[in-house]
């Protein structure tokens, strides 16, 4: 049975909480806390089908493997795209910790965060992935609500709170009140989008190919922490030889302006659909940034300058969704306040 629910009674019966994000998988075990926080990556031998590595060891293999070893991501944009491989990955990640839980409580219930506008196929894939691990029932919970709870927002109160969940592949923007989503917007912009924009700029303007690990230091361009001229090391497109070029940080900032504009447009669209009373709440409370890419340098400053609203980055933003779902499992969340119907 698929249920998109915030029934705390149902969730308190669950033992396992999962956040199957685009870049990382996080598993929370009731009364034990977070037991898995690993990249959603699998390395598999294409000849034998054997699983060679999962998580961080598999991620380090990306771009460095021979032809018979394939590095795959069974979860894309928060949606399971390869159920069998996702089950094998989760089984290897949880290992004996979850097997002990299954022995103590064979009829296990699980809860999983899914994107706000997940279609029926995406919900079915998440459900089948968890059932394949042995769960008897799976509760599907909106990741925006769980992230709001996880970062300490009073989502159950009749006051507006705005959350911007910046993932690896997508960003979700929502205004929450009384435990529900008033307005929401999803854009295909995330941490990987900014990386691709920087890589593409260096390829087009300097004919330089960057190794994947060399992109992260360039994130400092967003908050102006780089010197006036920066040296970037990579591979020449034409010759294939190593080469160093000098880059103007301002040109890199221009390269990421397009995805930032799309993100700002999504925030404005959500505000436009909100009742005026809730927008007045947001002017004081501002925006809470969560998600794995929320700590992108300068992102909070850019949003603050362009919206005129206070912007805060959650503590451990990548863990907010799973920690919020874990709090619901543990019974640390108050019931949503629902007014009594008038007679």
Per-residue model confidence as pLDDT tens digits over 286-338: 999 999 888 888 888 889 999 899 999 999 999 999 999 999 999 888 765 44
Residue 261: pLDDT over 50? yes
Q: Is there a binding annotation on residue 18?
A: no
Residue 189: pLDDT over 80? yes
The pLDDT-based confidence of 125 (bands split at 50, 70, 90) is very high
Closest to 9 (Cα-Cα) out of 132, 114, 105, 111: 111
Range scoring the smallest mean pLDDT among 155-164, 219-228, 269-278, 320-329: 219-228
Q: Is there a binding annotation on residue 169?
A: yes
Lookup: tokens for 140 = 């599907």
- Choose between 220 and 167: higher pLDDT: 167
Give Cβ neighbours of residue 95 (< 8 Å, ≥ 6 apart): none
Residue 341: pLDDT over 50? no
Q: Is residue 327 within 8 Å of residue 6, measured between CB atoms?
A: no
Q: Is there a binding annotation on residue 160?
A: no
Q: What is the pTM of this model?
A: 0.86
Give Cβ neighbours of residue 126 (< 8 Å, ≥ 6 apart): 20, 79, 80, 112, 114, 118, 138, 140
Mean per-residue pLDDT, 155-160: 84
Q: Is residue 171 within 8 Å of residue 43, measured between CB atoms?
A: no
Backbone angles phi, psi at 46, to 5 degrees: -70, -20
Q: What is the pLDDT of residue 121?
A: 92
What 3-state class would DSSP assign to 7?
Answer: coil
Q: Is residue 172 within 8 Å of residue 144, measured between CB atoms?
A: yes
Q: Write the CA distances from 145 to 24, 54, 161, 295, integer angstroms.
A: 19, 29, 11, 20
Q: What is the pLDDT of residue 134?
A: 80
Q: What is the pLDDT of residue 85?
A: 94
The pLDDT-based confidence of 150 (bands split at 50, 70, 90) is very high
């Amino acid at each position: 049975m698929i249920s998109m629910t915030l029934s705390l009674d149902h969730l308190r019966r669950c033992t396992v909480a999962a956040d199957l994000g685009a870049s990382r998988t996080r598993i929370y075990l009731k009364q034990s806390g977070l037991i898995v926080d690993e990249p959603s990556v699998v390395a598999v031998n294409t000849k034998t089908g054997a699983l060679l590595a999962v998580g961080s060891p598999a991620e380090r293999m990306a771009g460095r493997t021979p032809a018979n070893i394939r590095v795959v991501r069974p979860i894309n944009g928060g949606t399971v795209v390869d159920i069998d491989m996702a089950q094998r990955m989760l089984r290897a990640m949880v290992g004996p910790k979850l097997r002990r839980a299954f022995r103590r409580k064979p009829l296990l219930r699980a809860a999983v965060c899914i994107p706000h506008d997940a279609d029926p196929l995406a919900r079915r894939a998440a459900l089948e992935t968890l059932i394949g691990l042995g769960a008897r029932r799976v509760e599907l919970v909106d990741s925006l609500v769980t992230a709001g709870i996880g970062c300490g927002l009073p989502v159950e109160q009749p006051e507006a709170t705005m959350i911007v969940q910046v993932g690896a592949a997508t960003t979700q923007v929502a205004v929450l009140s009384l435990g529900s989503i008033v307005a929401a917007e999803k854009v295909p912009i995330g941490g990987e989008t900014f990386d691709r924009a920087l890589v593409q700029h260096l390829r087009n303007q300097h004919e330089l190919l960057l190794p994947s690990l060399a992109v992260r230091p360039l994130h400092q361009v967003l908050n102006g922490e780089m010197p006036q001229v920066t040296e970037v090391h990579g591979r020449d497109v034409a010759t294939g030889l190593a080469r160093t070029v000098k880059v103007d940080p301002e040109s890199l900032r221009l390269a990421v302006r397009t995805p930032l504009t799309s993100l700002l447009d999504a925030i404005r669209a959500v505000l436009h659909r909100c009742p005026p009373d809730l927008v007045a709440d947001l002017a004081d409370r501002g925006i809470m940034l969560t998600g794995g890419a929320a700590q992108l340098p300068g992102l909070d400053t850019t949003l603050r300058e362009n919206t005129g609203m206070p912007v805060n980055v959650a503590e451990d933003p990548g863990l907010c969704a799973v920690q919020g779902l874990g709090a619901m499992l543990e019974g640390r969340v108050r019931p949503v306040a629902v007014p009594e119907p008038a007679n």
